[in-house]
Chain A
Amino acid sequence: MSKLKIVVTGPVCAGKTTFIHSLAESPPATTEQRVRNPSDKSKTTVALDFGRATIGGHPVNLFGTPGQARFHYMREILVDGTDGLVLLVPSDQEDGIEKTRKLMAPLMAKMDSPLVVGITRTELAQSPIREKIRDSFGSRALQIERIDARKEDHCRCLVTALINRR
């Protein structure tokens, strides 16, 4: 069975590195660097995360992207040849959906692989973000779920949906 390439993206502080840690069979390769002017987190991904998992019997290579606008080229490099995209949207950031739209626009234009959306950090804010996500990505998203990126079963469900409907 050939390996599937799944890319995990989304704005900063959405839980992308955590998502890959939750699913990876062995500790993932990460490229986190200390943030020079810490605000809401102390470390950030500057290049990529890489982890391997087996999901629904399929061997899967997981690639996590950086979240900040300035690392746009890494997202464009990583989505090349992807079998599916997991988009994580943090619900506790006021401009989370706006940042997500901006980040996704160049990716949506160049890729036609399936997409699932995980709404994260829902315990930190109860904002009506699902409707906004449906408005922005509904036509492309196979599934939109509230998830906790720290929970393996939540992450596994989302990727399973992506693989099954591929």
Chain B
Amino acid sequence: MSTVEQIDSILQNIENEVPSVEGAVIASRDGFVITHTLTGEDAEEIAAMVATTTGVSERMAATLSAGEVEETSISAAERSVFLYRAGEEGVLALIAGEDANVGMINLQARRSTDKIESLLADPSTAAA
């Protein structure tokens, strides 16, 4: 199984464990799609925004001497987005529906980001 396939199976597992998660994107920190499960949205555009939002979050945390950012979230009326750092290379973005169980999403995301981090450190994903 290729590295990207292994990451895809981690994303699939999150969606299975937390049904309110409707889609996931792994973005590189400079704004490219590494892999995603979106069907209706433009993953390339979302990946760029994931990098932008993460960049601002980290900058704001640094300005406030707040330490490392664990999670960035956007709660909107109909959907929510949760962003988690996945090592030096990537960001995991989870898009959830109205009935999102934030605790479950956080738990699953944190279980997954370590695995994603080690997979992303594999140079074969660099061209993805």
Interface size classification for chain A: 10 to 19
Most-contacted residue by chain A among B30, B49, B54 (CB, 10 A): B30
User: Do A47 and B56 contact each other (CB < 8 Å), given the known contacts A29-B63, A33-B29, A73-B49?
Assistant: yes
Binds B, one of A34-42, A83-91, A121-129: A34-42
Chain A residues within an 8 Å CB radius of B47: 70
Chain B residues within an 8 Å CB radius of A30: 59
Q: Cβ of B59 and Cβ of A29 under 8 Å apart? A: yes
Q: Cβ of B89 and Cβ of A36 under 8 Å apart? A: yes
Which secondary structure dominates where chain B touches chain A?
A: helix
A31, B53: Cα distance in complex, Å: 10
Interface size classification for chain B: 20 to 34
Q: Cβ of A37 and Cβ of B127 under 8 Å apart? A: yes
A21, B43: Cα distance in complex, Å: 33
Chain B residues within an 8 Å CB radius of A47: 52-53, 55-56, 59
The answer to the question of A68 belonging to the interface, with a C-beta cut-off of 8 Å to chain B, is yes
8 contacts across the A-B interface (CB closer than 8 A): A31-B58, A34-B29, A34-B88, A37-B126, A44-B30, A46-B30, A47-B55, A70-B32
